[in-house]
Amino acid sequence: MNLDIRITSAADIPALHRVRMSVKENVLFDPTKVQPSDYERMIRVDGRGWACHVDGVIRGFSFAKKNYTNIWALFVEPGFESRGVGPRLLNCAVEWLFNQSAESIWLTTKPLMVHTAFLDIALQALLPSLSPQLYLIFGLKITVYR
């Protein structure tokens, strides 16, 4: 399996949206809440995104929102979990935000929607490379401080 992380472009939007709509956790109960224009704004104005290509096909993505210093999106297509996709995408977003002078970075999810095994793996991947202090608040919001 060949994993290749690339910065997203507008051409990736249909594949990103396909991945977003395929997830089994943090499901959008109203699919109209995230539109192609939302991805485009993130790509062109608000931040940066990364797509993980597995054997040439986008199977996961993340977006970092610069002005809010948060992880706007982090999704992996079902069937591609536990293969290193999520932690690599999260690391790209965190490193980029810190390089943009962020003092802290946050990610919020709904209760009971976070995949705890993934979260453990992702946090372990971050700790050695970034040496952050980590705060878990009510199991919903994670803030990483430089």
Encode pLDDT of 62-76 as tens digits.
999 988 888 899 999
Q: pTM, whole model, 2 decimals?
A: 0.79
Query: What band does 131 get if pLDDT is binned at 50, 70 and 90?
Result: very low
Query: Taking a C-beta distance cutoff of 8 angstroms, is the pair 122, 90 a contact?
Result: yes
Averaged over 45-50, what is the pLDDT?
95
Tell me, what amino acid is at 9?
S
Q: Which residues have CB under 8 Å from 77's CB, separation 6+?
A: 19, 22, 23, 59, 60
DSSP class of 2: -
Averaged over 72-94, what is the pLDDT?
89
pLDDT computed for residue 69 by the predictor: 84
Cα–Cα distances (Å) from 28 to 14, 32, 33, 100, 113, in that order, read: 17, 8, 7, 30, 11
Task: From 105, 79, 83, select the one nearest 92 (Cα to Cα).
Answer: 105
Tell me, what amino acid is at 99?
N
- Phi and psi torsions of 82, nearest 5°: 60, 30
Instruction: Give the residue, 13 or 24, on which the prediction is more confident.
Output: 13
